Amino acid sequence: MRTLQPILVQVLVILFLVELAMSLLTDLEWDEYKDRYKKHYTSDDKYHRELLDRRIQAVVEHNRLYSQGKVGFRMGITEFSDTDQGILFSFRSVQPSPPEPNVGETTVEKPPGYKQYDQITEGIDWRQYGYISEVENQGTECLSCWAFSASGALEAHLAKKHSRLVPLSAKHLVDCVPYQNQGCKGGWVSLAFKYIRDHGISTKYAYPYDLKQGHCLWKSILPSKFFCVYVTLNNYDERELAEVVYNIGPVAVSIDHLHEEFIQYSAGILSIPTCRSERSKLRHSVLVVGFGTDAMGNDYWLIKNSYGTEWGENGYLRLARNANNMCGVASLPQYPLV
């Protein structure tokens, strides 16, 4: 089987075709795309193909601006490029502006040596300490981002405390956290934390992930061996978030991701002028594992996503920092106290 090179890297050919207003996607390339990502369509095959075709053109046009230095990030073709994010990436069966059901503690417990923002002279990348597990892929049909960000935050804080990383099961949370969370139809990080506090959580290897919600296979343990409370930052303050990430560890955050720039993100520091920051607009949970400043002096958040390693920078995103709370990154940060 051929690779996706005709789609992904033959930029000059694609540019030529765009200028001629010709179709970019051959039958063979469409079949290769579907085969690569195990896509199976029947009556709506043409619809998804046309979506991918349009997005290839959008990527080419955007990357032309990137090459001219007019934007700070690249876009590319991903597993999600033929999907309608307005349908697939919203909370299905949940009210349009659902209230945050639990906020936990709201006061940051500052450990000894805690540095204030103005005392922090460089960024942090918790991956370098061995506290961050591998990037996983939630799939295009399961809205389980909340489970990955919650389990990722907890396993990172446990690894920091015990100097040993044990990957935890997002699938356990998808199957077992009760309503208001709805498994593959969406959920809240706070309710995942509350469930883990009350019932514990399996390891990833004992309860592996698949792309659908199933029956809960977990026998609860009491009391929880992991943590007692979690913290929610309520100040919409990027400086406070940076302090917590630097001094305490990774933080689960929710962002507004329903934008072509996010779905097609490939590399660089993402900045979306139309991104929103109100809590009611935040539909995707991710994990902030660090922050920094690039060689050009541009501040960024380092974020672990759950779209697999072919998305973004090996599964990670650099999001503009100190940019008016870009995409709501500081609107609903949460982390466990272990």
Biggest alpha carbon–alpha carbon distance for the chain: 66
The encoded tokens of residue 64 equal: 């032309």
The encoded tokens of residue 299 equal: 């501040």
Compute the distance between CA of residue 221 and CA of residue 198 in angstroms, rounded to an integer: 8
- Angle of CA points 60, 66, 70, to nearest 5°: 125
| Segments in the chain below pLDDT 50 | 1-22, 87-99
Place of tokens 């991701």: 257
Q: Are 333 and 251 in contact (CB under 8 A)?
A: yes
pLDDT of residue 217: 84
- Is 216 catalytic? The answer is no
pLDDT of residue 100: 52
pLDDT of residue 101: 52
Compute the distance between CA of residue 310 and CA of residue 225 in angstroms, rounded to an integer: 35
Axis-axis angle for helices 45-67, 11-19 (nearest 10): 110
Which backbone phi and psi does 310 adopt, to 5 degrees?
A: -80, -15
pLDDT of residue 43: 83
Which residue in the list 63, 137, 181, 305 is annotated as catalytic?
305
Specify the pTM.
0.87
- Is 284 catalytic? The answer is yes
pLDDT digits over 201-253, tens only?
999 999 999 888 878 988 765 555 666 689 999 999 999 999 999 999 999 99
Which residue in the list 145, 176, 275, 327 is annotated as catalytic?
145
Beta bridge partners, 265, equal 75
Q: What is the CA radius of gyration of the chain?
A: 20
- Is 305 catalytic? The answer is yes
First to last CA, the chain: 48
Cβ-in-10-Å burial (0-12, 13-18, 19+) of 222 comes to exposed
pLDDT of residue 25: 82
Which residue in the list 62, 184, 284, 325 is annotated as catalytic?
284
Compute the distance between CA of residue 49 and CA of residue 34 in angstroms, rounded to an integer: 10
Domains of the chain, each with CATH number or no CATH: 5-71 (no CATH), 87-337 (3.90.70.10)
Q: Are 174 and 146 in contact (CB under 8 A)?
A: no
Q: Are 24 and 18 in contact (CB under 8 A)?
A: yes
pLDDT of residue 189: 95
Q: Which residues are CB-contacts of 47 (< 8 A; sequence separation ≥ 6)?
A: none
pLDDT of residue 225: 63
